[in-house]
Structure 1
Amino acid sequence: MNWKGPVDLNNPNVEVVVLEHWHPITAKLIHVYVGRLISEGNSTLVNAYDNSKRTYLGITTMDAELSLISANIALARPGTLICDPFVGTGAFLFSASNFGAYSFGCDIDGRQMRGKDGKGIEANVAQYNLESTVLGCFVTDMAHHPWAKRRFLDAIICDPPYGVRAGAKKIGKTEATTRKQQKKVARSTTHNYPLTQPYEIDQVLHDLVTFAAQHLIPKGRLVYWLPVANEILESITDPLAVENPEIRLQRVIPQHENMRLVSVSTQLFGKWQRLLVCQEYVEEMVDSNHHQAGISLNTFRDLYFAPSE
C-alpha cells in the first residue's frame, strides 16, 4: 500500500482490516483480503426495520436484512430515483429510501399496496418517517407499463413473483374465458377490472430486463431475486459450467446486449436456491445473447412442489 506515515494504534487516521474467506463445507481457506476499513456493519438498522415490528406485512414481504442488502447493491443514496415494479407490500421502498433515495413502486394488484383497515404501504411509510422520500405507488401491469422509452431511473430493485406464494399475472385473455367474460362485461353497468392471464417466469424476466435496458441511466443497476431449482442447475452439463459453479449460475440469468452482469449471490435452501442478481446498464454492447437465458425457469414451481425422493 506504500503508506509512509507513522503507526498510531490509539488514534489512527486509517484502519486496516484482514478478512479470511473459508469454505463452509471443506473448511479450507479460500482467500485472504487486506484493505482499508471503509465502514462497519449496522445491525441496529436491521433491527429497526425488522418485519416483526412492521405495521403492515404480507405473505411475500422480503426479509428486512435482505431488503437492505439489495438496496446497498443497487447503490441507493441521496438524490437517486429507484423503482420496484413488483412492489407488493413495499419492503424495497423503505430500504432504498432509508439510504436517502427517492423511491416509488407499482404492481398489477392494488390490494397489496392499499392493505385494509388503515394498514398498507402508507402506514409503513409513516412508521419509518419516510414521507419525503417514498414518492408513492400505483397500479400498472409490468407487461403493459405506461412509460415512454426514456432513461430516468438510477436503479430497479424487485423480487419478481415466481408462483410459489403468489403467481404472476398480466393483462390479457385466455381462450377458455374470453367469450364468457366479454358477454358478462357487456351486460354489466358497474366498474369492471381488466382480465388477466398467467405470466410465466421466463416472460417476467424477459420483460424486466428489457424494462431496465430501456429506463436505467448509464451504469444504473437492476437488482432482483431469482429462484432456481437445483435440478435445473444440475441439468446444465457443458464442460465450462461443470468446472466453474459461477458459470453454471450465469446460465440461468437472462441476458441483454446492454446489461452487464455485476454480481451474483446465493441464498441456499433445500432443493432450490435464490440468486441475488445485479446487472448494470451499459451503452456499449456486452458479450451476451440478446434477450436469452440459457435455461428455462418456467418449471420452477413444479420442481419446488415436487416430493423429495
Structure 2
Amino acid sequence: MHLRKMWPRYLLWFAQEHVDFRHAEMQSLLSMFNIPIRYVEKPCEVKPYWVVEVPSEECVRKLASRSVLLKNCIELWSRAKTEAQLHQNLKRAMQNSTHQWITSEGSENGVCDQDICPSGLIDACRPVDKSFKVEVETFCKHFSMKEKVEKIEKFDYLSLDGPVKLKNPATVLSYIEFYGLDPNNVPEQPEDLFFGRWVADGQRDLIQQHSLKKRTFIGNTSMDPALALLAANQAQVRDGDIVLDPFVGSGSLLVAAAHFGAYVYGTDIDYLMLHARTRPTRVGQKVRKKEESIRANMQQYGVGARFLDVLVSDSSRPLWRPGWHVDAVITDPPYGIREPTERVGIEKEDYTLLAEHLARHVPAKVEYALPQLYRDLLGAAARRLPPGRRLVAWYPLLRAEYNPDRLPSHPCLELVANSEQVLSRLTARRLLTYEKIREPDGDVAADGGVHNFREKYFNSGEETRRARKERRAAELAAYLTQTHNQTADVT
C-alpha cells in the first residue's frame, strides 16, 4: 500500500428524481461558491450517489444549503462491496495513525474495498459527552425495524462512549446499503455499502414548503416548486441580486429566486393573469379570491420585502432604458398550448389609429412565433446581463427532433447547461442555461432556434386534455343522435 494525500472524502446522496438536472445543478453551485472538487470515481448518471473529495466540510455544507436534488452529505468512513469488508475497513481505520486515507495500489478509479480512513475521523465522535445515533438506509430494498437494529448492533466495536440519543444527537452515523436500480430484480446482497458521519441535509424540505397545493395564487401553468428552485440555482441567484422574469405568469420563479435572497420583478402581456382575474385552476373553485396575487404569494413565504413589482408589458417591445442591468433572467415563456404566445400587433396593413381613439384604445395582439420570442429573449439578456451572469429559460420541443446544434443561441451567450424534463411520449422541455461571455458589439443577432413547437405539437397527434374532452363529447353527441335517428326510423 502507499499513502495518498487527499482532501476529506464525502458521499453525496441524491434524490432519484429529475436525474438529468443533477449534474447541471451541482456544477452551477460549485462554480457559484468557487469550490474545487475531485471525483473519486466518475459519477454515474443513474446511480443516486457521488463519492467526492473537497477541501473542507464547509464546502459540502455550502452545497447542501442550496441544492434541492441533494438528500444529504456524509463524511465517508468506509465503503465496500460486502458487509464483512466494510466492518474490516472500519476496524483497520481505528488503528490507522496517519491523517490521510490509505488506498490499495492498482485500485480502479482510486477506490476499492480496502480504502481506509484516518482514525481521527472516528476518534472525534468518541468523547463521553457526545451523544449519537446510527441510522440505516437502504436503496431498492426494504428492511423491518428489527432487521435494521440488528445491523446497527454490528457496529458496537466502534466503542463510542457518549449516550445514545434518538432525537437531536450530537453525531448521526449513517449506514447505507445500495441494492441497484431495478426494483423488479433486487439482488440478495447489496452492490455497494457506505458508512460515515452525517454532515448536512439538502433543501428537499423546500419542495413541500413551496407546494402549489398550499399556495395562495396559482395559474394554469404555475411552475413545479422543485423545478423553480432548480432554475434559481442554475441562475446562481445570490443574496441581493435583482432578478427579472419577462414572462412572469403567476410568479412561481420569482418565489424561488426571492427565497435565495434576490429582489424580484416581472413582466407579462396577460393583464388578467397579473391581476389574478383569470379563470381559477383549482378543482371546485368558481371565482378568484380577492386576496389572490403574486404579491400575496411572496408574503405567504415571508419574502414580501424582496418583491419589487410586476408590469403589464410586451416582451417584444422592451420598455427598459439603455444601460439598465439585472443580475439574472429566469423565465418560462408560453408555448402556445395552454397559454397563448402573443405580442402587440395588427395584421391589417397601413393601419392608422385616430387621435380621438387613443385614450381608450386596447392594443390588438398577434401570434408571437417561438423562434422570434427566443431571439428577443436572448437579445435582451445579452444587453441586460453583466458578463458572467446567467439567463435560464425553458424551451419546448418534440423529443424526436431534438438537436443540440439547433437550440436558440447568441454570440454573446454561452450555453453552459442543458437538461431535459420529459413531458410525454412525444414532447419534452429543456432547461437551457446561458452565461454571458462578452458585451454585444454592434448589431449582433440571436438565433431563436428552429423548433416550431406549437405547429408541430398539434400535427404530431399530441392531444390536450380539453381537446380530448371536447372530442369525446362530440363523439357521444353524434352517437346519441345516430341512435335517436335509428329509433325514429324503426318507429
- 1:305 maps to 458
- 2:163 maps to none
State the 4+ residue runs in structure 1 displaced beyond 4 angstroms: 29-33, 185-190
Give the alignment partner of residue 377 of structure 2, picking from 183, 205, 208.
Answer: 208
Per-residue deviation at 1:256? 0.9
Per-residue deviation at 1:306? 3.2
- 1:274 and 1:46 mapped to 2: Cα distance? 20
Structure 1-normalised TM-score?
Answer: 0.79
Per-residue deviation at 1:305? 2.6
- 1:307 and 1:143 mapped to 2: Cα distance? 28
Per-residue deviation at 1:16? 1.0
- 1:83 and 1:283 mapped to 2: Cα distance? 20
Secondary structure of residue in 1 paired with 2:457: helix
Secondary structure of residue in 2 paired with 1:144: coil
Q: Any conservation in 2 of the 1:223–1:278 contact (CA below 8 Å)?
A: yes
How many residue pairs end up in the alignment?
271
Identity %: 31
Whether 1:254 aligns to 2:271 is no
- 1:253 and 1:215 mapped to 2: Cα distance? 21
- 2:5 maps to 2
Q: Which amino acid aligns with 2:259?
A: N
Q: Which amino acid aligns with 1:304?
A: Y
Q: Which amino acid aligns with 1:221?
A: R
Spell out the pairing of 1:1-80 with structure 2 (5 A cutoff). Answer: 2-3=5-6, 16-17=10-11, 30=44, 33-35=50-52, 36=54, 37=60, 38-39=63-64, 40-80=201-241
Secondary structure of residue in 1 paired with 2:407: coil
Give the alignment partner of residue 122 of structure 1, picking from 283, 288, 295.
Answer: 295
Per-residue deviation at 1:99? 0.5
Give the alignment partner of residue 271 of structure 1, picking from 426, 441, 444.
Answer: 426
Q: Which runs of 5 or more structure 2 residues have no equivalent in the other structure?
A: 20-42, 55-59, 65-200, 278-289, 463-491
Q: Which amino acid aligns with 2:10?
A: V
Deviations 1:178-233 (A, max 9, x none): 75xx68x7775862221211100000000000000000011110000000112423
Q: Any conservation in 1 of the 2:244–2:326 contact (CA below 8 Å)?
A: yes
- 1:99 maps to 260
Whether 1:172 aligns to 2:345 is yes
Q: Which amino acid aligns with 2:294?
A: I
Q: Which amino acid aligns with 1:53?
A: K
Per-residue deviation at 1:43? 1.7
Q: Which amino acid aligns with 2:428?
A: Q
Q: Which moved more, 1:102-111 or 1:206-215?
A: 102-111
Q: Which amino acid aligns with 2:263?
A: Y
Q: Which moved more, 1:100-109 or 1:124-133?
A: 124-133
- 1:41 and 1:189 mapped to 2: Cα distance? 54
- 1:217 maps to 386
Deviations 1:100-156 (A, max 9, x none): 111110111121111142311122122112111111111111111111232521110
Q: Any conservation in 1 of the 2:395–2:429 contact (CA below 8 Å)?
A: yes
Structure 2-normalised TM-score?
Answer: 0.51
Q: Which runs of 5 or more structure 1 residues have no equivalent in the other structure?
A: 5-13, 234-247
Q: Any conservation in 1 of the 2:295–2:307 contact (CA below 8 Å)?
A: no
Deviations 1:61-83 (A, max 9, x none): 11111101101111112111110
Q: Any conservation in 2 of the 1:151–1:217 contact (CA below 8 Å)?
A: no
Q: Any conservation in 1 of the 2:335–2:341 contact (CA below 8 Å)?
A: yes
Q: Any conservation in 2 of the 1:255–1:290 contact (CA below 8 Å)?
A: no
- 1:242 maps to none
Q: Any conservation in 1 of the 2:383–2:439 contact (CA below 8 Å)?
A: no
Secondary structure of residue in 1 paired with 2:205: helix
Superposition RMSD on alpha carbons, in Å?
2.9
- 2:450 maps to 296
- 1:190 and 1:136 mapped to 2: Cα distance? 25
Q: Which amino acid aligns with 2:305?
A: S
Q: Any conservation in 1 of the 2:406–2:450 contact (CA below 8 Å)?
A: yes
Q: Any conservation in 2 of the 1:61–1:89 contact (CA below 8 Å)?
A: yes
Q: Which amino acid aligns with 2:224?
A: D
Q: Between Structure 1 and Structure 2, whose CA radius of gyration is higher? A: 2
